[in-house]
Structure 1
């Protein structure tokens, strides 16, 4: 009985310490703050962004009030951005802005936040394939535009302001074109109020973009369909005064018959049929003579060598 108690006690001790024997309870050695920061910077320089993220996270967790804590938070935003983690980068930028509103490098946080959203909206296929990105949801583009706009309004003398301004021009044109595509969609389906509102939004908020004349044209046609002659005339006058060579087109679709709709346009179309192709004036006898003149070699090679 006594032997059984001894064996049981030894077994419990072995089970309790088994995890540490097999490395399950491995302790992370204590690394100095400066060493952690230098290792993270070295990883960034070597473009090992995953390792840099791990080092910076460890630095922030172990030394939240150290001398490298604020700089490590900025470096972590950049590491997340380069490691294709846009959500983490945006969250880290928001956290830095909230914790350090008067930091001397807060403009860098706004710039990285806008740059992350800007790159998030450009996938691999959009970079190398002819895909129209103006027809996609502009959620990330809006976030990027707002971040760059805040940067320019609050810190116009920032070293990142020129690049942010150029990117804002691109984003502004894209957002305006997206609104025009939506307005055209509404026009084709008879939603004239929604189309007019989209066009007015472009004219009022996205000026100096190539989409403005299209917006005025949509406003003119939408107001005309709604019977608002004064607004339609005003939009048309502004359009012709600023863009006299603009070619006005209609977005209204002709009413289709029930038979045409049911047969997908094969039957019941009210359009006039196309004129027949030009008839062949050669008679059968002339064709026979031409065929007789062809040699057997010409026929065998389908006329390639003769």
Structure 2
């Protein structure tokens, strides 16, 4: 009898909790609203900058009308709301889900644009405590992925209204990545790992040849090969350096 009595209490508590959750959900949305009315309310909240509240309303609408005519727009608005609220994990998850389920959607360019922005923001959020410090010396994996996202956008949708901004961001990211590679090369130089330093700079010359920082990369290559006694590689690097930057060694 004791076991049965405890089971009854547990069941009662469970039912009470469920009722509480249901009441909370009912407070969140007006069940008499149409899909259009629900969306307009959520959109007004979103446009007002109340992103966390907008997420609640959009998620509630998504749950109530998962296959309605506004469902795709709700998903896109959720992506934006997550991004603006700083929840890059949910933003990226929502973007990947949208791209996977809507391979031919006319707003895929926007999805890739937001994925690029979100990936960049991942690194920015990780390093925000280093105020005033050049963050190029930190891990850049998400920023690199953001570059690839923008690259997909501008190559697949060159006429997109987001393409021009994506190109500008790609240029800025490229210079940041070059600084990152140079800082890593300098780290190796200071520890006597000259071959590793030379290889980092060789990567810059091969993949970021239009960067003005190639001059510094070539200088490190010349010095590193010299310290390693690799005369031919040193002379080849010096020839390339002087051909492109005649006053580099003055």
Please state which band the TM-score falls in when normalised by the shorter chain: 0.7 to 0.9
Counterpart of 2:101 in structure 1 is 99
Give the 3-state SS of the residue equivalent to 1:170 in structure 2. Answer: helix
Which residue of structure 2 lines up, in the alignment, with residue 41 of structure 1? 43
Q: Judge conservation of contact 1:126–1:133 (CA < 8 Å) in 2.
A: no
Map 1:95-174 onto structure 2 (within 5 A). Answer: 95-123=97-125, 129-174=131-176
Tell me which residue corresponds to 1:284: none
User: Could you tell me which residue of structure 1 aligns to residue 5 of structure 2?
Assistant: none
**Which of 79, 82, 85 lines up with 1:80 in the alignment?**
82
Measured in 2, the distance between the counterparts of 1:120 and 1:62 equals 31
The equivalent residue for 2:20 is 24
CA shift at 1:121, angstroms? 2.8
Per the TM alignment, residue 123 of structure 1 is displaced from its structure 2 partner at its CA by 4.8
Of residues 29-38 and 94-103 in structure 1, the stretch that sits farther from structure 2 once superposed is: 29-38
For residues 36 and 45 of structure 1, what CA distance do their matches in structure 2 show? 14
Between the aligned partners of 1:198 and 1:173, the Cα distance in structure 2 is: 15
SS at match of 1:217: helix
Contact 1:180 1:198 in 2 (8 A): yes
Q: In 2, are the aligned partners of 1:220 and 1:236 still within 8 Å (CA)?
A: yes
1:304 — aligned with what?
none
Name the residue aligned to 1:210: 212
- In structure 2, distance between residues paired with 1:121 and 1:19: 44
After superposition, residues 1-306 of structure 1 pair within 5 angstroms as 16=12, 24=20, 26-27=22-23, 28-29=25-26, 30=31, 31-123=33-125, 129-247=131-249
The structure-2 alpha-carbon separation of the partners of 1:188 and 1:125, relative to structure 1 and needing over 3 Å to count, comes to closer
CA contact (8 A) 1:107 1:155 kept: yes
Question: How far apart, in 2, do the equivalents of 1:228 and 1:16 lie?
Answer: 80
Quote the Cα distance in structure 2 between the aligned partners of 1:56 and 1:25: 18
- Structure showing the higher helix proportion among its residues: 2
Q: Which moved more, 1:123-132 or 1:222-231?
A: 123-132
In structure 1, the gaps of 5 or more residues are: 1-11, 249-306
1:117·1:141 contact (CA, 8 Å) conserved in 2?
A: yes
CA distance in structure 1 between the aligned counterparts of 2:204 and 2:236, rounded to whole angstroms? 16
Q: Is this contact kept in 1: 2:127–2:135, CA < 8 A?
A: no
Q: Which has the higher contact order (CA 8 A, sep 6+)?
A: 2
Question: How does the TM-score come out when normalised to structure 2?
Answer: 0.85
DSSP-derived class of the 2:248 partner: coil
- The match for 2:4 is none
Structure 2: stretches of 5+ with no match in the other structure: 1-7
TM-score, normalising length from structure 1? Answer: 0.70
SS in 2 for 1:121: helix
Can you list the C-alpha shifts for 1:71-118, whole angstroms capped at 9, x where unaligned? 111111000001110111111111111111111010000001111222
How much does 1:192 deviate? 1.6
Q: Deviations over 1:28-55 (max 9, x none)?
A: 4434322221111011111111111111
